[in-house]
Chains A and B, each alone.
Chain A
Amino acid sequence: MTGAIDTAGPAPATHKRPGRSRAAASDLAKRERRAAYLFLSPNLIGLTVFVAVPMLLSIVLAFFSVDGFGGYTFVGTANFERMVGDPQFIDSLGRTMIYLFVLVPGLFLSGLGLALLVRSQFPLVGLFRTALFAPNVVSLVVVALIWNFLLTDDVGFVAKLLGRLGITAPSWLGDPSYALGTVMVITIWFSMGYYMLIFLAGLQDIPREFYEVASIDGAGPWQTFRNVTWPMLKPTSFFILLTSTIAVMTGGLEMLVILTSGGPANSTTLIVYYVYQQAFVYGEFGYASAIGSIMVLILLAWSALLFALTRGGRFTHAD
């Protein structure tokens, strides 16, 4: 990988370790341990304060009521009881499930489909891959602004284009029956390139000989996909199902904040937005934490299910 290794040359054969005295060895081990903790300490402190503590805090806070700035009152399971009787929460939960069940397969299939299309060499394929990945590079804020512009009611580009074809465009972001679908399409637009790249890496790891054998055996494209590509892609598929669920469940908040504010008529209030709204719009940090912990529980359950279905995610390459 790096030329620097070669210039150093092969290290002299100096395996003197066994010859050292016991005391010296334990001294060395102590030094090594001390060094290791010194190297680790900035990260361990940082990860504890800014990741682990917030994580624990979110569970603890779920049993508290937090008022304005700093006043914590223990309320037992009141936040969870409130959740059960909160139709907005129940609705956002249902909406999130729909969102997951459409987007996770949607991202999976679009990513896999694109990867299969761009895996072989043909003119400009590199440029096309770049174009497909490009929306992933700009911020979600920019994504939200671009689509807000393109989807403007009546005078926006999409409305005008459909108008020319004689179709009256609905209010994509203003009509409760379209808004969530619109958000899903935009999400697929900017994330499919990412999943394409990961699938592409998985495809490139499949040994060529497998395809040669399949072709000599007279397998058609579907049979080849079914018997070679699909089984060999299992580890990649597992990874994508897991990460895309996390991404779909907890991501995209920027778009909801900028594009729809959870509306119209709460039609895009997903759980992640509801948590944000309760905390930062209504100042209900305790209730928000309780809902957030439900979100984490759903994610954990889904990961556990995936692990169970794939026997611990332990896929072994057949080579």
Chain B
Amino acid sequence: MPTDTATAPPARHAPAPPTGQRRFLVRRSHRKKAALFTVVGIIAIITAFPLLWMITSSFKGPDEVLSTDILPSAPTVDNFDYVFTSVPFTRYLFNSFIISVTVTVVALFFHSMAAYALARLKFRGRDTIFIAVFSTLLVTAPVVLVPLFLVVHRLGLLNSYAGLIIPAIFSAFGIFLLRQFYLTIPAELEEAAILDGCGYWMIYRKIILPMSKSIFAALAVLFFLANWNSFLWPLVATTDQDLQVVQLGIVSFFEEHSADWNYVLAAAFVAAIPTLIIFGFFQRKIVESVKTSGMK
């Protein structure tokens, strides 16, 4: 423990405790750590268990899938074989991938443009626009599901990739986070660029975008996950088999094979693999962006 750092409270209290008491404190903190380790460990295992159970069960045969043994006695990949050969599962994955990547890339581009204007440019109506954009954060997807469906229907975009992609691009969340980030950029950089004769587009491309790499990575992970996991909008906006996204695909697969849990869990696991991999790789980014979204 630091006793006299610059930030320490005024020394009106007793100095360091005598050594006997310190040893007692150390022992007590050891015991506290052991207790925390045990309690949190148990909660963590229980929490993660259903996910692990899905993974191990998807390698079990049909006669074993309902057993209470954690590990399959004879691991098999037949379930995955069946999933990919009995339904166009590759197509589902492809659709989800194309949609999620397109939404993510376009959204980052558009959102950062808006955020740049809101954070770095001075113009009349800026605060009004910002408040208007911000207030749309209160509107969550299920609330506008019905009218959005009617709008997209009127635009003739139902049952098309455009209908799945375009409405998903626009949300205030990314604009808001990026704006907060751009507010922290020192003004000198832009002023120097302006003196060099750079236009706003050049400043955006040469200064703002390169500085956004790290926050883009965090947002990209969030956007990709949200779109990969999206179910309700594709459910109401598409009926075409060729446009099925993976989340819809596993639900219809489940409806056809509701008793064959080994197949259903294999399908669910395949749908979850990209999210789990991304989570594994970008855990820190996800945690950071969740925290920022919460605090600002």
Contacts and interface: CB of A to CB of B under 8 A. Distances in A.
Interface of A: 1-2, 4-5, 8, 10-12, 14, 29, 31-33, 35-37, 39-40, 42-44, 46-47, 49-55, 57-58, 61, 66, 69, 114, 117-118, 120, 122-125, 127-128, 130-135, 137-142, 145-150, 152, 155-157, 160-161, 189, 192-194, 197-198, 200-202, 205, 207-209, 212-213, 216-217, 235-236, 239-240, 243, 246-247, 250-251, 253-254, 257-258, 272, 275-276, 279-280, 285, 288-289, 292, 295-296, 299, 303
Contacts of B26: none
B151 A54 contact: yes
Interface of B: 1, 7-9, 13-14, 33, 36-37, 39-41, 43-45, 47-48, 50-51, 53-54, 57, 66, 68, 110-111, 113-114, 116-118, 121-124, 126, 129, 133, 136, 138-153, 155, 166-167, 169-172, 175, 186, 188-189, 191-192, 195, 199-201, 204, 210-211, 213-214, 225, 228-232, 235-236, 247, 250-251, 254, 261, 264-265, 268, 271-272, 275-276, 278-279, 283, 286-287, 290-291, 294-295
Contacts, number: 297
Contacts of B123: 29, 32-33, 36-37
Given A37-B123, A43-B111, A208-B7, 6 more contacts: A2-B214, A55-B144, A139-B271, A139-B272, A246-B138, A275-B146
A51 B211 contact: no
A29 B68 contact: no
A130 B57 CA distance: 22
A259 B170 CA distance: 29
Which 9 A-B pairs give the minimum distances between C-beta atoms? A11-B188, A139-B229, A46-B170, A198-B294, A54-B147, A201-B291, A39-B117, A35-B200, A57-B147
B136 A52 contact: yes
A35 B117 contact: yes
A31 B200 CA distance: 9
Given A43-B113, A47-B170, A52-B136, A272 B44 contact: no
B200 A128 contact: no
B143 A292 contact: yes
A250 B9 contact: no
Contacts of A216: 9, 13-14
Nearest to B247: A141
A138 B51 contact: yes
B251 A258 contact: yes
A205 B171 CA distance: 28
Nearest to A253: B142
A114 B114 contact: no
